[in-house]
Structure 1
Amino acid sequence: MRTFEMLLITVNVLLLGWLIFARNKSQRGLLVGFGISILFMVTHGLVEGLRWRMTPIYLMTLFPVFSVALRHIFKPKGQKQNAPRRIWIILVTTLAVLYSTVAVALPLLFPIFSFEKPTGPYKIGTVSYHWVDNTREEHFTKAPDDNVN
């Protein structure tokens, strides 16, 4: 993995863990975490280039936005939660661990290889030739004059 890929993965996994396990999350903290994550993602895209293997990490960058939106949708002010908190935390933690595992595994399982530029006096490449030998007889056909094109 490359440097900014590792930084982006580390920041996003830590941010996801903070979103799940922190009791009091301030909106300011979410925005700072989101800003740092976006900064690393943009830097990674400009310096190293975006890759399909990093798509789960790119989506993980948007988790703070979803967290703020879900907090306002599912927990209106003045009402208590109906679902038991412990089951909810176990479910969310399990999904986050699975998602983080897949997000980290993809860049590791499908690495980007880069080759050094060839050095030396000779050019590197391939050439295809079609060779025809009109003087050689063809032994696998019944036609007597099959050596001529």
Structure 2
Amino acid sequence: MTGNQTGAGRIQQDMAVAMRRPGLPMPTLPRRNRDANVHYTLTRVGHNGRLADRSLIRELGWPARQHIAIEASADTITARAAPNGNSAITKDGFLLLPALTRHRCDVHNREQVLVAAYRLPELLVIWTMPAVDGMVASRLREHLAGISDALAG
């Protein structure tokens, strides 16, 4: 390389030099492995209760017209395969949340929900955004408490 290099060539040379310099030591953080048994997606609920994303239905191997038992609490919905279930996967492979379930969990058209598919047991769990907000806020409080403790100690 020449001494009067400019532009992209000079940037590449500077980057090569910077990459050779030793940096600050980095701590080794404990690695938390994800549970391979669970898969997540964030999806919207249509006006008829249809979950827009059907990838987790396929993940569980639920075929079209599979009977599903759906249960709901204030902010969580569960769905599992059941021969005498109160619902079924549509012919196109979508899950429809019944109106009563949507009403009970206060889920409206175009709202997002967090969906988790657990392979064992075959279970789909759907959380409303207020439920997700609560879970995230709880973890954030724990995190901030840990920071406060570390600073005080």
TM-score (norm 1): 0.24
Larger % of helix: which?
A: 1
TM-score (norm 2): 0.24
Larger Rg: 1
Larger % of strand: which?
A: 2
